[in-house]
């Protein structure tokens, strides 16, 4: 079959009722997902939640037990990896150590018998797009982790795929380099305009880079939305806890403090630490408690407060009370935590 003409209104990737079992293990369970053309979508979840298996089914390395994978409207479920307009960047880069950077990047084109002059030119463009112009003659072994990571990216981009799949590509880098590459990778994606599907278990990374995040748990998607939606309006207890500090009020605490039954989450940044005698204003809720822990975290101060009604909440205050003397004096003191009602989200 030949590919249908590209239709810009179609999602770049469409997964329908996707399922994968390995013997008794259900790795992926009825996943439905549309990924838009040019979108940066992250699959976020704990180890074993099924992210990599979904990515491998999009790439064609794994055949679904049930369901379909469409790329730009074409059903590719049964197609081999090389018959799909996608490329994958793995965590270990898999660069050829004996080849120069230029040869590494050209390799895929050579296999496809692209003429030498065109190969050279496209490899140079790909290296420029990852800000490695002039590095063509180096060996990967003479480069830093971040540079090697960018060579791996150039090697994928040189094929000009519609979709790039990235499986924890920054996992091997130290924290500082990782943070730099997060910004860099996002900028590169915006410039080249390719659809990125990015797998990570790191919530900070997902929040920093993504247009949308699909939060995985037990082989399924718990919630999908923009970073702000997922962070500020967690749909389930799992999402509240996995993306940020869950800060739950439940049972007697939610009845006494909020006046409702159910489980609610309030993000630490939304909570103010006040004197015990403070009165909650219009549209606010509050709870009395005792400070168990105070930690100065540079950008602010983090309090862990045990509530009188049971349970505890974390409050994160931006630098108002930031001298370490004051902070230490807060431990063991009674306080009133105050927040606006609109920052309470029902998660169960
Ligand atoms: P990680 O972040 O650790 O890579 P993940 O979210 O990507 O985790 P998967 O690798 O997709 O999770 O695994 C999902 C489930 O499927 C796990 O229980 C895993 O053990 C199982 N699994 C994955 N691949 C195979 C396989 N080839 N054979 C048997 N079980 C597998």
The predicted-structure confidence for 320-331, as pLDDT tens digits, reads as follows 554 555 667 889
Q: Quick check: 239 pLDDT over 80?
A: yes
| CATH at residue 331 | 2.40.50.140
Number of helices (H), then strands (E), in the chain? 10, 18
131 occurs within a structural domain: yes
Position 230 scores a pLDDT of 94
* Cβ–Cβ under 8 Å, residues 149 and 173: yes
| CATH at residue 192 | 3.40.50.300
Q: Is there an atom of ligand 1 within 6 Å of 51 CB?
A: yes
pLDDT band of residue 24 (cuts 50, 70, 90) is very high
DSSP 215: E
Which of 242, 277, 307 terminates a domain? The answer is: 242
Tokens, residue 126: 């790909």
Which of 184, 209, 242 terminates a domain? The answer is: 242
Which of 225, 242, 259 terminates a domain? The answer is: 242
Where do the DSSP E strands lie in 95-187?
163-167
When pLDDT is averaged across residues 267-286 and rounded to a whole number, the result is 93
How far does the centroid of ligand 1 lie from the alpha carbon of residue 223, in Å?
Answer: 20
- Check whether residue 143 and residue 72 sit in a common domain: yes
Considering only 88-92, 126-130, 184-188, 287-291, which range has the smallest mean pLDDT?
Answer: 88-92
- Report d(CA 305, CA 283) in Å as an integer: 22
1 occurs within a structural domain: no
Q: Is there an atom of ligand 1 within 6 Å of 50 CB?
A: yes
Q: Quick check: 319 pLDDT over 80?
A: no
Position 170 scores a pLDDT of 85
Q: Decide which of 26 and 94 is more confident.
A: 26
- Check whether residue 103 and residue 177 sit in a common domain: yes
- Check whether residue 51 and residue 173 sit in a common domain: yes
Question: Which domain covers residue 324, as residue numbers?
Answer: 267-340
Position 2 scores a pLDDT of 45
Q: Is there an atom of ligand 1 within 6 Å of 201 CB?
A: yes
* Exposure of 153 in the CB half-sphere (CA atoms within 13 A): 29
pTM: 0.85
Question: Which of 156, 153, 110 lies closest to 130, judged by CA?
Answer: 153
Tokens, residue 176: 């500082």
Tokens, residue 287: 């709870």
Please give the number of the atom of ligand 1 that sits closest to the Cα of 49. 6
DSSP 137: T
Q: Is there an atom of ligand 1 within 6 Å of 217 CB?
A: no
Position 1 scores a pLDDT of 42
User: Best mutation site among 29, 31, 52, 65 for ligand 1, i.e. most ligand atoms within 8 A of its Cβ?
Assistant: 52
Considering only 29-33, 122-126, 170-174, 183-187, which range has the smallest mean pLDDT?
Answer: 170-174
Q: Which residues pair with 34 in a beta bridge?
A: 14
For the chain, the domain total comes to 2
247 occurs within a structural domain: no
Q: Whose CA is nearest to atom 3 of ligand 1?
A: 47
Q: Whose CA is nearest to atom 21 of ligand 1?
A: 27
Q: Decide which of 294 and 94 is more confident.
A: 294
- Check whether residue 144 and residue 25 sit in a common domain: yes
Question: Which helix (H) or strand (E) segment is 288 a member of?
Answer: strand 284-296
pLDDT band of residue 213 (cuts 50, 70, 90) is very high
Q: Is there an atom of ligand 1 within 6 Å of 48 CB?
A: yes
Position 129 scores a pLDDT of 84
- Check whether residue 86 and residue 235 sit in a common domain: yes
- Residue-wise pLDDT tens digits, 172-181: 778 888 888 8
User: Best mutation site among 19, 20, 21, 22 for ligand 1, i.e. most ligand atoms within 8 A of its Cβ?
Assistant: 22
Q: Whose CA is nearest to atom 16 of ligand 1?
A: 27
How far does the centroid of ligand 1 lie from the alpha carbon of residue 346, in Å?
Answer: 31
* Cβ–Cβ under 8 Å, residues 292 and 305: yes
Tokens, residue 323: 């001298």
Please give the number of the atom of ligand 1 that sits closest to the Cα of 201. 2
Position 292 scores a pLDDT of 95
* Cβ–Cβ under 8 Å, residues 210 and 196: no
Q: Quick check: 190 pLDDT over 80?
A: yes
- Check whether residue 231 and residue 137 sit in a common domain: yes
When pLDDT is averaged across residues 46-66 and rounded to a whole number, the result is 96
When pLDDT is averaged across residues 110-120 and rounded to a whole number, the result is 93
* Cβ–Cβ under 8 Å, residues 128 and 153: no
251 occurs within a structural domain: no
Q: Is there an atom of ligand 1 within 6 Å of 25 CB?
A: yes
Mean pLDDT across the chain, nearest whole number?
90
Question: Which helix (H) or strand (E) segment is 203 a member of?
Answer: helix 203-209
């Amino acid at each position: 079959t030949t590919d249908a003409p590209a239709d810009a209104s179609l999602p770049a990737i469409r997964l329908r009722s996707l399922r994968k079992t390995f013997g008794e293990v259900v790795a992926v369970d009825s996943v439905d997902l549309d990924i838009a053309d040019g979108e940066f979508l992250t699959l976020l979840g704990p180890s074993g939640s099924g992210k990599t298996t979904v990515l491998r089914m999009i790439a064609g390395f794994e055949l679904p037990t049930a369901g379909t994978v469409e790329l730009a409207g074409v059903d590719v479920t049964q197609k081999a990896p090389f018959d799909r307009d996608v490329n994958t960047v793995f965590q270990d880069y898999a660069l050829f150590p004996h080849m120069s950077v230029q040869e590494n990047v050209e390799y895929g084109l050579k296999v496809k018998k692209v003429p030498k002059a065109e190969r050279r030119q496209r490899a140079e463009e790909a290296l420029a797009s990852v800000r490695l112009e002039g590095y063509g003659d180096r060996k990967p072994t003479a480069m830093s982790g971040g540079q090697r990571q960018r060579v791996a990216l150039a090697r994928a981009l040189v094929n000009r795929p519609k979709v790039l799949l990235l499986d924890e590509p920054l996992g091997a880098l130290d924290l500082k380099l990782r943070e730099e590459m997060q910004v860099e990778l996002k900028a590169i994606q915006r410039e080249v305009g390719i659809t990125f599907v990015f797998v990570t278990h790191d919530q900070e990374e997902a929040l920093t880079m993504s247009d949308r995040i699909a939060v995985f748990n037990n082989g399924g998607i718990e919630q999908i939305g923009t970073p702000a939606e997922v962070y500020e309006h967690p749909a389930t207890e799992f999402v509240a806890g996995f993306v940020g500090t869950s800060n739950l009020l439940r049972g007697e605490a939610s009845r006494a403090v909020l006046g409702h039954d159910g489980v609610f989450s309030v993000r630490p940044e939304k909570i103010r630490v006040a004197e015990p005698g403070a009165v909650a204003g219009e549209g606010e809720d509050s709870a009395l408690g005792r400070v168990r822990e105070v930690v100065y975290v540079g950008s602010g101060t983090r309090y862990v407060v045990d509530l009188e009604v049971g349970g505890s909440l974390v409050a994160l205050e931006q630098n108002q009370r930031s001298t370490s003397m004051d902070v230490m004096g807060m431990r063991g003191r009674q306080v009133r935590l105050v927040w606006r009602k609109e920052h309470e989200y029902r998660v169960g």
